[in-house]
Structure 1
Amino acid sequence: MFALILAATAHSYFFLRRFMPTTIVIDAVNTRRGLKWGVPAMLLAVPYAIAADYCRAQIEAGGAGWLDLLVLLFLWNTLKFVLIGPISLLKLISVRVREAVARHRMTRTLLADDVDHFAEPTLVSRRG
């Protein structure tokens, strides 16, 4: 029974991970190329907040009770997009610092080995 529940959970997790639009956007932002788009992606939280407010107003006006689930979904997506901005900014700073340190170490190593990496490579012909 436990294996069945675990398998169902895993399948639903991977299905949602692959096909839900918010997860696709957040996965794209979490790549190295996408980190710069984290702060602008925060703007996507606005439509979700408006949709949550609209559904809440419909519920208070006597609408269907299942709209509560939509309110929770919209608020969850709003929270995800609000948090992705600062998180991606911190990741971007971390990556850029690591890249600068690696670039500095490489330059220092090349200078210590007395290698001129701007010089043109020479072709050595081997005659046997």
Structure 2
Amino acid sequence: MKLASKRRTGVVVAVLSGLALAMTSTSATAATDGPDVIAHRGSSGMAPENTAAAIDLAVHQRADHVEIDVQRTKDGKLINFHDCTMERTTNIEDLYPDRPHYRVSDFTWNELSRLDAGTWFHHTYADERIITLDDVIHHIQHTR
């Protein structure tokens, strides 16, 4: 039953995201003649993906849209994170070496908020943190 509920939530988020994108694409197309620029996971080629640094850089670079990934933590917080597990882009194995799994859904927001999500990309992004969906909205809410 829990799995079906999570799937429904995921479907609702996907549908709402698609509708929002379609609505903004329509109005943006009317204002410009060129293609829309979509920043994948923020400006992920120049900053650690799905972090505030990547979102802010995409906005600074005037991307038309910012594509993000949303997952739910163990305590129900929606975070901006792509992979199902966190070993590739965080220091989770160093902080929690005795955990049997490193899935987002196995950790609380308090635990995940301590992770370094930037050093893997470049040392200048050391201590860049995972951000919540609310944080993403805050970073883009006053943009075009």
TM-score, normalised relative to structure 1: 0.27
Which of the pair has the greater relative contact order for Cα pairs under 8 Å at 6+ separation? 1
More helix by share: 1
